[in-house]
Amino acid sequence: MLAEWFEQKRAQYPSPLYGSVDIRDSGWKVAAVDINAFPAGFNNIEEDDLQRLVGPIRHWLDNEYPGSQLVLLWPESNTRNPGYAENILVIKRLIQSAGRECRVGSVELADFAEIEALSGHLSLSPVTRCPDGVLVNGQRPDLIITNNDLTNGKIPSGKIPVAPPQGLGWFQRRKSNHFRVVQPFIDEVAKLLEIDPWVLGTHWFVSEDKCLEQEICRKTLAKEVDDCLDMLREKYRSLGIDSKPKLFVKNDSGTYGLGIIEISSGDELLNLSKRKMNKLTYGKGGAEVIDFLIQEGVPTRLKWRDYVIEPCMYSVGGDVDAWFYRANNKKGTLANLNTPSTRFIAPSKLEMDEGGKEALQHASGWHTLVAELALLGLSAEYAELEN
């Protein structure tokens, strides 16, 4: 039943080149809390899973850009993060294994010949502007694949096709838009399974137009926060959940875990310290934060040794393809785990003890279902850009 439903829905939407989904499993709900259109953790995927990604990326390239031979992989401009550079090395290898020539570079990195990755050096090719786009090593690429979240705007691609679509960049995309387009899919699946759709998603709303900088607006927002928390408390009571609900306030157009705070009352929002306000309003590269997503906090019940963990799913071509786990032994079950103290754990390591095995068992069921719904939502975002 579900397989037929997904097959029918996927046929209606374009397939994303790639994507990643962060999932929280509280025991009473499993929800996707973040969906990345430009995933930057391919280096955390186990080698066996990476080998299985070659077929899907070849299939996607053959279907979407059958004439493409020279691919320019356009990375972030962060030259001091070896982990990110390793991610680019892995993506380059996947593209080459799919039968394409792949060069790495960007206009911003034109002065660099190489950057340091975890396993060695990542060679960069010179990229220059030309009247109809860019040249890499003096050649016009057939396709540009971006692994840059485009916080600062579009790249100068000219007439060269770009994947993923540049409209998914953070200069334009909003996290809340994803949760808007995915909710009808969640509702339909919940109806098929005869369950409450609340157990497959998060409750959320948006604060717009620099509301936190305006006292009257902040008071109204604080009332909305308290109303939302009251609703969640009642939900918890009705389901016998012994926990206190909290909300996360996030930059609605950001990534890398920046601009996130946790609150448990409207008063906390009204009385934010200068430090917390600065944290909340700091965007990547100093970008101005205007809108905020207020999202139900979903604790994780999954643990491995002394770490709390959350599943991360990686996809090529719109399918659930690979998993690893974000683990942090300095954060609590409700906290944002995406901090410098995070480790990334492969499924094979989790198989070594009971706590890890429990997480893996869920990955083949509810975690996969939620990841598939999130990818369908990403496909719907693609479709909106085409219309």
257: pLDDT strictly greater than 70: no
Q: What pLDDT does 274 receive?
A: 75
The Cα angle at residue 249 between residues 271 and 338, in degrees rounded to 5: 120
Domains annotated on the chain, with CATH? 2-37+300-386 (no CATH), 44-168 (3.40.50.11280), 203-296 (3.30.1490.20)
What are the backbone dihedrals phi and psi of residue 305, each rounded to the nearest 5 degrees, phi first? 55, -125
pLDDT per position as a tens digit, 324-338 = 999 999 998 988 888
3-class DSSP assignment, residue 160 = coil
Q: What pLDDT does 336 receive?
A: 82
Q: What pLDDT does 147 receive?
A: 97
Q: How far is CA 137 from the centre of its chain?
A: 32
Q: What pLDDT does 387 receive?
A: 62
Distance CA 50, CA 195 (A): 35
Distance CA 151, CA 251 (A): 12
304: pLDDT strictly greater than 90: no
Beta bridge partners of 256: none
Q: What pLDDT does 261 receive?
A: 81
pLDDT per position as a tens digit, 31-78 = 999 999 999 999 999 999 999 999 999 999 999 999 999 999 999 997
Q: What's the average model confidence in pLDDT over 170-179? A: 92
Q: Where are the alpha helices (DSSP H) in 28-99?
A: 47-64, 82-97
258: pLDDT strictly greater than 60: no
Cβ neighbors of 170 (< 8 A, separation 6 or more) are 149, 150, 151, 253, 254, 255, 284, 287
Q: What's the average model confidence in pLDDT over 220-233? A: 91
pLDDT per position as a tens digit, 365-385 = 899 999 999 999 999 999 998
pLDDT per position as a tens digit, 6-15 = 999 999 999 9
Distance CA 129, CA 136 (A): 9
Q: Which of 49-58, 91-100, 164-173, 343-352 has the lowest mean pLDDT?
A: 343-352
359: pLDDT strictly greater than 90: no
Beta bridge partners of 162: 144
Contact 245, 310 (CB under 8 A): no
Q: Which two tokens stand for residue 302?
A: 């999954």
Note the pTM of the prediction, 2 decimals.
Answer: 0.92
Strand pairing category for 292-296 and 247-251: antiparallel
Q: What pLDDT does 222 receive?
A: 87
DSSP code at position 288: B
What are the CA-CA distances from residue 170 to residues 115, 130, 252 (Å)? 25, 25, 9
What are the backbone dihedrals phi and psi of residue 315, each rounded to the nearest 5 degrees, phi first? -135, 145
Q: What's the average model confidence in pLDDT over 81-96? A: 96
Contact 69, 342 (CB under 8 A): no
Q: What pLDDT does 79 receive?
A: 77
Q: What's the average model confidence in pLDDT over 151-173? A: 94
283: pLDDT strictly greater than 60: no
Q: What pLDDT does 259 receive?
A: 61
